[in-house]
Amino acid sequence: MVSQHYYYATGRRKTAVARVRLYAERGPIVVNGKPMEESYPWKSWQDIINSPLAATDTFGQMRVVAKVSGGGVVSQAGALKHGISRALLEMDPTLSATLKRGGFLTRDSREKERKKYGLQRARKKEQFSKR
């Protein structure tokens, strides 16, 4: 029987947003209706997503259903990591020390710098010619 009680959290990274539901039962990680392995085939991406579960020894004991939008693949994986961490904290506040120590609760606030007028990119200038 599928439990309807879940813990909800939102994770963000760059322009990616992950809305995460964490169920306290065994099950897969499903992202946008597909298994995580299908959405994120590279092991490094899967490791980013699984890191909060591995750090709290809850890997394989939780069912995660997430909707992710915006950003690129790595950014989405980071948003998922942040969302899963926040949902774990909502489920069990005693995990706070472990998650904080691992840096999972801190949102990575780095964003792309805007392009400035007169420049080619955010900081790249035209090549200087002395003569």
Whole-number pLDDT of residue 2: 58
When pLDDT is averaged across residues 105-115 and rounded to a whole number, the result is 94
Whole-number pLDDT of residue 108: 92
Tell me if 64 is assigned to some domain.
Answer: yes
As a 3-state breakdown, the chain gives helix, strand, coil percent values, each rounded to 5, of: 35, 20, 45
Q: How many domains does the chain have?
A: 1
CA dihedral 23, 51, 74, 41 (to 10 degrees): -80
Whole-number pLDDT of residue 3: 58
Span 1-39, pLDDT tens digits: 455 799 999 999 999 999 999 998 999 999 999 999 999
Whole-number pLDDT of residue 4: 77
Span 36-89, pLDDT tens digits: 999 999 999 999 999 999 999 999 899 999 999 999 999 999 999 999 999 999
Tell me if 58 is assigned to some domain.
Answer: yes
Tell me if 51 is assigned to some domain.
Answer: yes
Rounded Cα distance, 50 and 116, in Å: 38
Q: Which domain holds residue 33?
A: 6-102
Structure tokens at 3: 């439990």
Tell me if 109 is assigned to some domain.
Answer: no
